[in-house]
Amino acid sequence: MEELETINKWLGGHRITILGLKHFIKAGKKLSVCEIGCGGGDNLKALYQYAQKKDIEIEMIGIDIKKECIDYAKENCASIPKVNWICSDYRHALLPSRPDIIFSSLFCHHFSDEGVVEILNWMKENSRIGFFVNDLHRHPFAYYSIKWLTAMFSRSYLVINDAPLSVQRGFSRQELDNIIRRILNSDSEWTCNLYWKWAFRWLMIFYKNDPSPWHD
């Protein structure tokens, strides 16, 4: 989990997660944010640090099915106030209240297309103003680059094995377009923006249509 935080930091993962949050920010707004598949909590920590710089009051929820991840996240984010850690399958998590924003990072590629549709529909039903996904673009350059980088610099056999495998399980543009159509399904209340970001990431932002849209 320490190495995953380093990868997220240096390969732009945290920057993309912050871009997802920025879409929903209004000046002086108080936000509640929930991450499913939160792992070691590094994404929530990055969002909190950004919110502090921008004087945004933020409350956070981290959900992960693995107790080891939640235990590590509590230590990793011990200095951050107002975080509710929930050890549960996201589908069965008892949310204290409906979050403004729900997001996932490097989570959806672990599931089949049907599983991803289920995740996004859950986010849609449980978020108050919108949700976003930060995940991987399946591409040969990304695969061989991360395979070489982790072989050279990683001390974790899990990272060495899982990082290239995660890229293999990433998404093409057409696959995401098909998933987005299934989620929106002629629902005029919602809109989705899909962006490609370096290094080989997709950022999907779903938001409720509003006369005063949420963006930075």
Residue 91: give the domain boundaries.
Answer: 2-136+173-208
Q: What is the pLDDT of residues 65-103, one digit of tens each?
A: 999 999 999 999 999 988 999 999 999 999 989 999 999
pLDDT at 11 over 60: no
Q: Is 41 helix (H, G, I), strand (E, B) or coil?
A: coil
Which pLDDT belongs to residue 162? 72
Look at residue 113 and tell me if it is in a domain.
yes
Q: What is the pLDDT of residues 120-155, one digit of tens each?
A: 999 999 999 999 999 999 987 566 576 666 666 666
Q: What is the pTM of this model?
A: 0.88
| CATH classification of the domain holding 203 | 3.40.50.150
Q: Calculate the alpha carbon distances from 58 to 103, 119, 141 in Å.
A: 14, 23, 37
Give, to the nearest 10 degrees, the angle between helix 157-168 and helix 140-153: 180
Cα torsion angle, 151, 43, 137, 125, sign: positive
Among 166, 138, 129, residue whose Cα is nearest residue 150: 166
Specify the higher pLDDT residue, 198 or 119: 119
pLDDT at 213 over 60: no
* Pick from 18-22, 105-109, 205-209: least confident: 205-209
Q: Give the span between the Cα atoms of 155 and 4, in whole angstroms.
A: 12
Which pLDDT belongs to residue 215? 44
Q: Are 51 and 78 in contact (CB under 8 A)?
A: no
How does DSSP assign 54-116, residue by residue?
TT--EEEEEEES-HHHHHHHHHHTTT-SSEEEEES-GGG---SS--SEEEEES-GGGS-HHHH
How does DSSP assign 111-135, residue by residue?
S-HHHHHHHHHHHHHH-SSEEEEEE
Look at residue 167 and tell me if it is in a domain.
no
Specify the higher pLDDT residue, 86 or 1: 86
| Pairing outcome for strands 201-208 and 190-197 | antiparallel
Which pLDDT belongs to residue 150? 66
Confidence of residue 8 (pLDDT cuts 50, 70, 90): low
Average confidence (pLDDT) over 151-172 = 71
Convert 92-103 to b/e letters by CB count within 10 Å (16 or more is b). ebeeeeebbbbb
Q: Give the span between the Cα atoms of 124 and 131, in whole angstroms.
A: 7
| Pairing outcome for strands 31-36 and 190-197 | unpaired
Confidence of residue 105 (pLDDT cuts 50, 70, 90): very high
Look at residue 157 and tell me if it is in a domain.
no
Which pLDDT belongs to residue 3? 61
Look at residue 215 and tell me if it is in a domain.
no
Specify the higher pLDDT residue, 3 or 165: 165
Look at residue 186 and tell me if it is in a domain.
yes
Look at residue 132 and tell me if it is in a domain.
yes
Average confidence (pLDDT) over 36-40 = 96
Q: What is the dihedral of CA 120, 125, 126, 131, to 10 degrees?
A: 40
Q: Give the span between the Cα atoms of 187 and 189, in whole angstroms.
A: 5
Q: Are 164 and 137 in contact (CB under 8 A)?
A: no
Q: Give the span between the Cα atoms of 177 and 81, in whole angstroms.
A: 37
Number of domains making up the chain: 1
